[in-house]
Structure formats: C-alpha cells, structure tokens
C-alpha cells in the first residue's frame, strides 16, 4: 500500500488550494464519477498530492481539476502511485499521483504556473545582490530595497501567484499558525543567505516581507561594533544589557554576535528565547539552549519564568514588548543572571522612556529603582549603507552607567545622560551623533547622514 516510488524524489512545491478529483471508471468507458472537492498538498511537473477520506487502489485513474490563476482552470488525468496515512486532521490519507494524460496546452500552462510560484530561482538570481528586503504584494512586481531605495523588478504578480509563492516558504506548523493567527514570523536559510520572513493578510490577501542577510554569525569586529561592547560582554557577570534600535537596525544580528562572542570567551549555560530563531549557534565552551516562541514556549513570560529554574548563567531575550516581560527581565537580572534583551528605541533616553512606559505612573518609581541597580549598559544602533562598498555599517551609541548614575536612573531624571556619555568617552562611551561623525569623517558613509543628527 505504501511503496517506495521515484515520484517522491521529485522536488514538489506546496500547493494549499482547493481542487476537485473525479474517479475514472473502466478506462473512461463509463465516463467520470461525481467530482469531489478537497485540499491539495503539493504539486510538481510530474504529479499532484492531495488529502482524501477514501483509500484508492494503486494505479487507479483520476481526473484532477484545479486553478492555476484566479480565473484559469486546468484538468488532467493522473494515476495513483502512493497512499499515505494522515493523522494531522480530519482527513485520513494523503494521495500521491502521477500525471498520466495531459494536453500540450495544459502542460504549457502548468509548467508556466510552476515557474511563477517557485521562489527559489528568485533566491538564486543576482536580484538579491546588496538587497536588504523583498516585498511580495498582489498587483505589484517583486519590490526590493537596495541601499534604502525601493526598486521594482519584473512583471506584476497576481494575487493567486503571490499566495502560492509565499506558502512555499512555510512548513506545516507555520502554515497552521498563519491560517489561525493571520500572521506568522519565521526564518529560513537558502545557500549562503538567511531570510527573516513575515507573511500576513492585507485586505484579505496574502503578502510577505523577507529580510535578507548572511547565514554566518559575524564577529563584533567584523560588524563594526565598538570595542567597549566586547569588553562589557567579557567582564559583566550579572545584570542587564539592553540592545536598542529601530526595527531593522540590526539588533538581532548584534545579539547573535554577542552570543557567539560569549561562547568563545566563557564557559556558561546560555538560554535564549527568540521569535523566531534566526541563527543556530556553535556552543563553543558553553551550553546554549535556544527556545523559539510558539514552538518551544508559548510566551516570553512563561519562558523566562521557567528559564530561571534551569540555572542559566546568561539569559537572552529576543525582544521586550510588555510590562510582564520587562518585570521578569528585571527579576532575572536581580537573581544574579546576566541578561541581554532588545528593545525598540532610537537613543539611550528613548530606551529608558520605553522601559518606564511599560508601567503605570504609580509603579514607575519602584521599577526604575530596580533598573538602576542592575543596568550594566545600553547599546543603541542604527545602520547606514556603506559609501564605497556594498552592505551596511552600524553607528552605535554606548551608555555605561555607574554608581553616580543610579539616582538619576531611579528618579527618571535623564536630561543629563547626554553629558554623562560625553564625559565618559575615555571609558568607551559615545553618542550616536559621535559615531555618525566618525563614520562620515573616515568616508565609510555619506556625509548627508550627518545632517539627521545636527
């Protein structure tokens, strides 16, 4: 019933669409049976797979009818070559078929459709050279962002093509999450590229964004991050370090580089909580446990609470988004763990404002006092296109609090922080403006960017 068949070796594309199958009786002598609607599993140039509640004899013949565009139907005859028991839903079987009879016109349409919904030729092409983002939207060509500029590539994509193209990047778990929650974040690797994807609905239609970067974890030095950051990571044994920046400023890349640095420098137990896991780390001398939100744990709060029972030396939090997570991060730092976490903010003062904003006014003083006792550093970064080479380079603000700043932080009186940063340059501190000035003076980025910080 379940033979090995070379059809299974053929690369298949996911095809999550309604199709119809009809049984063929006695080689078409009596025509087709009543059509039955079901959901396809995958499709390729040689056949199609679908879910069924009934078992078919191997080599029995069926007629398949399906859409390959919103208004284009095709039909072809197949024979059953595989039956697989399915336990993941109400259907009982997955049926594998091989195309037996298809007209030349239908074959041409099918092959053209398979080409349109296959994302991998796009990923293999030169289109992605120096590209940071890819946008897939119905009614638009592929839109890429290159050095901060949006460029349209190729012909417009219809809604049906975009839907099928995007779904080919999801495994079954993430597909189910998308259908349930209408939004899914994930990471996939292809050759030497890493893609952080978000697929979502917009006015009832699927759209997707993919951020592009290298799969390898770069060192702090290769990323252009200041030596003060490496020193902070190497010396700190407990407390809280915040990595701040706007969305897309490279916070996750920096965090991953820090984990790699820790793996080489220390012999600790590191627990990370990420959404999603973007880099798989070489543990080096450490034990590294990477937990993904939604797959390994249901929430940051739950994962942090349980992590404290796993006796980690270092805890890495993908992003602080709410008061519950922030409170647990403080608790972890107070317990003697070194905690790294990212937060969306564009300066040290903005990061502190964000922390305070998580809590009601009558509770802020309590939490800020706790923060003042455990905060070891705030690293704020922004990325800019390189002036002479391809790629991006970060400008970094470094704030390293000490005992003299505890009262300032506890009271929420942060207006003197810029002056404190300027006075602490000998300790490795610097403002984002200082960093941008340094990058423009050495010709690393265009002088025009400095105007944003005047």
The DSSP bridge partners found for residue 21 are 36, 64
**Mean pLDDT, residues 339-355:** 96
Which residues are CB-contacts of 276 (< 8 A; sequence separation ≥ 6)? Answer: 185, 186, 187, 196, 292, 293, 294
Q: How far is C-alpha 139 from the geometric centre of its chain's CA atoms? A: 24
Q: Is the peptide bond before 276 cis (omega within 30 degrees of 0)?
A: yes
How many CB atoms neighbour CB 451 within 10 A?
9
- The full set of domains in the chain, from first to last, is 6-116 (2.40.10.220), 130-213 (3.30.450.90), 220-453 (3.40.50.300)
Strands 239-245 and 375-385: parallel
> Which ranges constitute the DSSP H helices of 315-431?
323-334, 348-357, 361-374, 406-411, 417-423
Using an 8 Å Cβ cutoff, are 139 and 161 in contact? no
Helix (H) or strand (E) holding 393: strand 392-399
Q: How confident is the model at residue 439 (pLDDT cuts 50, 70, 90)?
A: very high
Q: How far is C-alpha 407 from the geometric centre of its chain's CA atoms? A: 39
- Going by the DSSP 8-state scheme, the letter that residue 280 receives in this structure is P
**pLDDT computed for residue 300 by the predictor:** 86
Distances in whole angstroms, Cα of residue 308 to Cα of each of 22, 175, 235, 260 = 57, 32, 22, 22
**pLDDT computed for residue 247 by the predictor:** 87
Strand order, beta sheet including 183-190: 149-157, 140-146, 131-136, 205-214, 193-202, 183-190
Short-list 58, 165, 65, 55, CA closest to 118: 165
pLDDT reading at 92 higher than 50: yes
Using an 8 Å Cβ cutoff, are 220 and 262 in contact? no
Using an 8 Å Cβ cutoff, are 135 and 209 in contact? yes
Instruction: Give 390-426 pLDDT, tens digit per residue.
Output: 778 999 999 999 999 999 999 998 999 999 999 999 9
Share of the chain above pLDDT 70, in %: 95
> pTM of the full predicted structure?
0.78
**pLDDT computed for residue 2 by the predictor:** 34
Instruction: Give 96-120 pLDDT, tens digit per residue.
Output: 999 999 999 999 999 999 999 998 8
Q: How many helices (H) and strands (E) does the chain have?
A: 14, 20
**pLDDT computed for residue 1 by the predictor:** 35
CA dihedral (5, 170, 209, 159) in degrees, to 10, reads 70
Q: How confident is the model at residue 334 (pLDDT cuts 50, 70, 90)?
A: very high
């Amino acid at each position: 019933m379940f033979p090995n068949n070379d059809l299974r070796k053929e690369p298949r594309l996911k095809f999550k669409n309604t199709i119809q199958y009809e049984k063929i009786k006695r080689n078409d002598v009596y025509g087709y049976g009543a059509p039955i609607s079901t959901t396809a599993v995958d499709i390729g140039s040689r056949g199609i797979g679908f879910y069924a509640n009934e078992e078919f004899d191997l080599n029995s013949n069926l007629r398949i009818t399906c859409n390959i565009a919103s208004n284009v139907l095709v039909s072809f005859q197949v024979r059953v070559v595989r039956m697989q028991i399915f336990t993941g839903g109400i259907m009982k079987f997955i049926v594998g078929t091989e195309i037996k009879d298809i007209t030349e016109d239908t074959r041409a349409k099918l092959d053209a459709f398979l080409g349109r919904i296959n994302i991998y030729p796009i990923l293999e092409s030169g289109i992605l050279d120096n590209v940071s983002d890819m946008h897939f939207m119905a009614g638009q060509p592929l839109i890429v962002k290159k050095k901060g500029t949006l460029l349209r590539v190729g012909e417009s994509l219809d809604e049906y093509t975009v839907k099928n193209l995007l779904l080919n990047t999801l495994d079954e778990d993430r597909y189910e999450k998308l259908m349930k929650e209408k939004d899914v974040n994930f990471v996939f690797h292809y050759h030497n590229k890493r893609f952080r994807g978000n697929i979502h609905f917009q006015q009832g239609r699927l759209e997707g964004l993919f951020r592009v970067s290298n799969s390898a974890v770069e060192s702090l030095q290769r990323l252009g991050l200041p030596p003060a950051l490496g020193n902070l990571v190497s010396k700190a044994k407990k407390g809280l370090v915040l990595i701040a920046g706007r969305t897309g400023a490279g916070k996750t890349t920096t965090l991953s580089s820090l984990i790699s640095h820790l793996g080489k420098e220390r012999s600790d137990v590191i627990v990370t909580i990420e959404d999603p896991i973007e880099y798989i780390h070489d543990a080096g001398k450490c034990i590294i446990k990477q937990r993904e939100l939604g797959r390994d744990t249901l929430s940051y709060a739950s994962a942090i609470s349980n992590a404290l029972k796993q006796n980690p030396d270092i805890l890495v939090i993908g992003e602080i988004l709410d008061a519950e997570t922030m409170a647990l991060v403080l608790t972890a730092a107070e317990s003697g763990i070194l905690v790294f976490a990212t937060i969306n903010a564009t300066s040290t003062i903005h990061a502190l404002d964000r922390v305070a904003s998580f809590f009601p006014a009558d509770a802020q003083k309590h939490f800020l006092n706790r923060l003042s006792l455990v905060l070891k550093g705030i690293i704020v970064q922004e990325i800019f296109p390189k002036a002479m080479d391809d790629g991006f380079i970060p400008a970094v603000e470094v704030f390293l609090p000490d005992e003299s700043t505890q009262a300032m932080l506890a009271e929420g009186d942060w207006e003197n922080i810029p002056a404190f940063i300027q006075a602490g340059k000998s300790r490795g501190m610097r403002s984002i403006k200082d960093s941008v000035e340094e990058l423009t003076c050495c010709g690393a980025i265009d002088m025009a960017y400095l105007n944003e910080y005047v």
